[in-house]
Structure formats: C-alpha cells, structure tokens
Amino acid sequence: MGVLLGAAAAEEARSLKVAIHGAGGKMGQAIVRLAANERAQVVGAIVSRGSSRIGRDVGELAGTGTIGVAMSDDTSAGLLGADVVIDFSRPEALPRLLHLAMRAKVAVVSGTTRLDATCERLLDEAAQHVPVLWSPNTSIGIHVLAEIAASAARRLGPGYDVEIVEVHHRAKVDAPSGTAVRLADAVRAARGEAGDAAAALSDVHGREGNVGPRKADELGIFAVRGGDVIGDHTVHLLGPGERLELTHRATSRDLFARGALRAAWHLHGKPPGRYTMADVIEG
Ligand SMILES: NC(=O)c1ccc[n+]([C@@H]2O[C@H](COP(=O)([O-])OP(=O)(O)OC[C@H]3O[C@@H](n4cnc5c(N)ncnc54)[C@H](OP(=O)(O)O)[C@@H]3O)[C@@H](O)[C@H]2O)c1
C-alpha cells in the first residue's frame, strides 16, 4: 500500500499542474482534453464572471469525464497550486490575470490574440516576476513557416513582392489574424537584416477601386472568412516569371493546444523572463 501511495506521489510530482484561463472556450476545452496526454494535470478552470458554467466539472464539459475540477470565476482560487496558467480568453481579461499570476508566482502561457499596448506592457511587467510566453499561434509548424518565409524574403530580395492571405472560420472576430501580422513582421525583419531599401514595408489591408499599380513598399495582408476553417496562412512571394506560395494549414485546434502545453512544460522551473515559441522549438 505504502509503495502504491509512493508511486502515485512520484507520478503526481512528474506531472505539470496547469490552470486554464478561458476554460469554457474552444481552446480551453481542447487543453482539458489533451492535458493528460502531455503529462499535465488540470488543477484550475477559470471562466468569465457570472458564466453559466460556474460549478460544473471542466472534464465533464470537455467530454473526458469528471476530473474533480469545477469551473470558477474566482481567478485567484483557480491559480492555487498551479505551476503554469494557460490563457486562451479575451484581450480585456488578460490584465487582471497577469496581475494575479505575478502575485501568485504562476508562470503564464497566453495565446489570446489582438492584445493592446496595455497588455503588451503588462506581459513585460509580469515577466520580471514569472516566466511568460505569449504567442498568437502556438502551433509548431507556423513558426517553422515564419522562419522559411523570412529566409525566402531575404534570399529573393526586394524584387519579389510579398503578400499574405489568411483564411479563418466565420466566427472569428478579429482581422487580420495575429499570425498573419506575425508573418508580416518576420518578413519585414528579414528584409531589414538584409539591408534592403524595401525593409520599411507598409501593410495594405485589401485593395479596392482605382488604387494604381502596386508600390514596391507594400506588404498586402488579406483576411478571408467563412465556414469552419480553423486557420490557413499563405505567404506569396511574387517575382518576375515565378512565384513561391508557402502555406500552413491547421486541420485541428488540438494542434494549438498541444503547442501551448509544450510551451507550459518549457516554462516550468525557468527563471522569470519573456520566452517565445522559437525557444520552445529549440528546447
Ligand atoms: N495562439 C493560438 O494558437 C490560438 C489558437 C486559437 C485561438 N486563439 C485565440 O485564443 C482566444 C480564445 O479563442 P477560442 O477559440 O477558445 O475562443 P472562445 O471559444 O470564444 O473562448 C474564449 C473564452 O474566454 C472566456 N473568457 C472571457 N473573459 C474571461 C475572463 N475574464 N476570465 C476567464 N475566461 C474568460 C470566454 O468565456 P464566456 O464564453 O463565458 O464569455 C470564452 O469561453 C482568442 O483570442 C483566439 O484568437 C489563439
């Protein structure tokens, strides 16, 4: 019996304790479903204030069976005992979470998109107290795409025009996607490193009417919305007589959840600071 209890305690020590902020949402539910596969134990499930889900078991909602963690709108209580909080919620909910996580010394992985300047500043402030990773796309493949797109833009040079097209489901509330903005930043930075005059590319969101020929310093970003598309991103590099189309397609939300759990493991035991998905990939 003592041996069995010892084994259970050792198993628990090997698992990562995570709280989920936005636990009732699509991503929060995916994290609940995949946590056990990634040796993570859900210890807190935080939902929006006054949510109809409060008190309900989060595993039951996710379809994994009861796990003994009731959803709550008490963020401080939800963080108790957690090593890392994984956040997929709304930008307006992030400041309060960051304040409470730094006070509770809980590391933060956030995938919430379209953050404003206040959130950005608070991520930096929190990173002085706990490890913090924010990424608008926690899939591993999209970061590899960003590296490839940056390399292609650098090697092809300013004679090649860059345009980015993203496609998402009809319920997505923001445009362009945070990932498309990240891809544009990667291309811009690569052109800057190469010392190209066109490094100062300015984003163009859609074209209509008599806009004239494309200018050399444009970087087009286009958002297509409809159906249930989880997320496609294509970087077009268009030159004289040829073009490259570099595409990433997400076929399941689980991809982002797995990446977020991998990021949570990466932060575990790390000193305070800002971390990136590139750090996670490098291991
Ligand atoms: N980084 C990535 O790879 C990635 C991937 C997919 C999505 N995202 C982003 O992640 C976010 C969530 O996406 P989703 O698809 O899961 O959306 P969703 O299904 O709408 O879920 C968002 C959840 O956040 C909850 N929420 C709002 N305010 C909260 C608060 N103060 N405390 C706790 N929970 C709160 C909402 O609860 P109520 O329903 O009760 O309001 C909702 O359940 C979005 O910003 C999305 O763009 C990022």
For residues 108 and 166, membership in a common domain is answered with no
For residues 117 and 232, membership in a common domain is answered with no
AA identity, residue 57: D
- For the CA of 27, the closest atom of ligand 1 is 16
Instruction: Please state the length of the chain.
Output: 283
254: exposed, middle or buried (Cβ count in 10 Å: 0-12, 13-18, 19+)? middle
Binding-site residue numbers for (S)-2,3,4,5-tetrahydrodipicolinate are 169, 178-179
* Encoded tokens for 124: 């930096």
pLDDT of residue 185: 94
Active-site residue identified among 99, 172, 268, 270: 172
Of 76, 72, 88, the closest CA to residue 21 belongs to 88
For residues 17 and 85, membership in a common domain is answered with yes
Q: Which domain holds residue 127?
A: 2-134+254-282
* 77 neighbors 100 (Cβ within 8 angstroms): no
For residues 178 and 44, membership in a common domain is answered with no
pLDDT of residue 71: 98
pLDDT of residue 15: 87
* 142 neighbors 233 (Cβ within 8 angstroms): yes
pLDDT of residue 163: 98
Active-site residue identified among 168, 233, 236, 266: 168
pLDDT of residue 283: 83
For residues 35 and 37, give the distance between their C-alpha atoms in angstroms, rounded to a whole number. Answer: 5
For residues 130 and 260, membership in a common domain is answered with yes
User: pTM for the complete prediction?
Assistant: 0.86
CA of 15 to the centre of ligand 1 (A): 25
For residues 53 and 46, give the distance between their C-alpha atoms in angstroms, rounded to a whole number. Answer: 10
For residues 123 and 145, membership in a common domain is answered with no
| 227 CA to centre of own chain | 22
For residues 191 and 242, membership in a common domain is answered with yes
Per residue in 71-87, pLDDT tens? 999 999 999 999 999 99
Query: Which residue positions in the chain have pLDDT lower than 70?
Result: 1-13, 196-199
78 CB within 6 A, ligand 1: no
What residue has token string 């919430």?
112
Query: Which residue CA neighbors atom 44 of ligand 1 most closely?
Result: 112
Answer yes or no: 172 catalytic: yes
For residues 89 and 116, membership in a common domain is answered with yes
Per residue in 196-207, pLDDT tens? 655 688 899 999
For residues 73 and 144, membership in a common domain is answered with no
Longest dimension (CA), the chain: 79
* Encoded tokens for 235: 């970087």
27 CB within 6 A, ligand 1: yes
For residues 31 and 126, membership in a common domain is answered with yes
pLDDT of residue 229: 96
pLDDT of residue 201: 87
Domain at 80, CATH number: 3.40.50.720
DSSP state of 122: H
For residues 168 and 184, membership in a common domain is answered with yes
Annotate 201-227 with DSSP letters as a single string.
-EEE----SS--SPPTTEEEEEEEE-T
* Encoded tokens for 223: 């958002």
Domain at 243, CATH number: 3.30.360.10
For residues 111 and 144, membership in a common domain is answered with no
For residues 31 and 178, give the distance between their C-alpha atoms in angstroms, rounded to a whole number. Answer: 20
pLDDT of residue 104: 98
- Count of domains forming the chain: 2
